[in-house]
Amino acid sequence: MNEYGTLHESDGRYVIKFERAFSQNISEVFRILTTPDDFAQWYPFATGEMDLKPGGEIGFDDGEGTTYKGVITEIEEPVLFGFNEEGDLIRISLEQKENGSQMTFIHTFDDSAWAVNTAAGWHRCLDVFDQIINGHPVEWKENATELRAYYQKAFNKNE
């Protein structure tokens, strides 16, 4: 399974999609995905404040004085977790596989100019999620420049 994200256009918006495979079953992946302390380790700006119900809020802090709330749009244990963050939609679905599970991570947004940086950022975040799910210490790799170059080429962005 390719760990790199793909870019699509849908209804005038842009969609970045990642698929990741895990050896753990979907219940374990969902538990770590929705545990506030774990979520705050891999998801950008997450504060660990999370009310896990439809319409529940997720707290964010950009570290520069701006705090805001995301709203949970869908949650179905152990297969689906979706929320709206400042107009962007995040939808994470899980599927049980023979040897573990598969996560499909989808980010829907409006401005294609952000596609390369967004994909590189999510790639790094999902790498950290993989570390957490496998019980490894969190280590943010210094690979942002290489990932941006990859996505620049993959998305045919000449900006």
pLDDT in tens, 44-66: 999 999 999 999 999 999 889 89
Q: Which two tokens stand for residue 11?
A: 């209804």
The pLDDT tens digits of the residues spanning 76-127 come to 999 999 999 999 999 999 999 999 999 999 999 999 999 999 999 999 999 9
Residue pair 5/122 in contact by the 8 Å Cβ criterion: yes
Q: How far is CA 139 from the centre of its chain?
A: 17
* Full set of structural domains in the chain with CATH: 6-154 (3.30.530.20)
**Among candidates 37, 44, 81, which has minimal Cα distance to 60?**
44
Regarding beta strands 100-109 and 88-97, do their DSSP bridges make them parallel or antiparallel, or are they unpaired? antiparallel
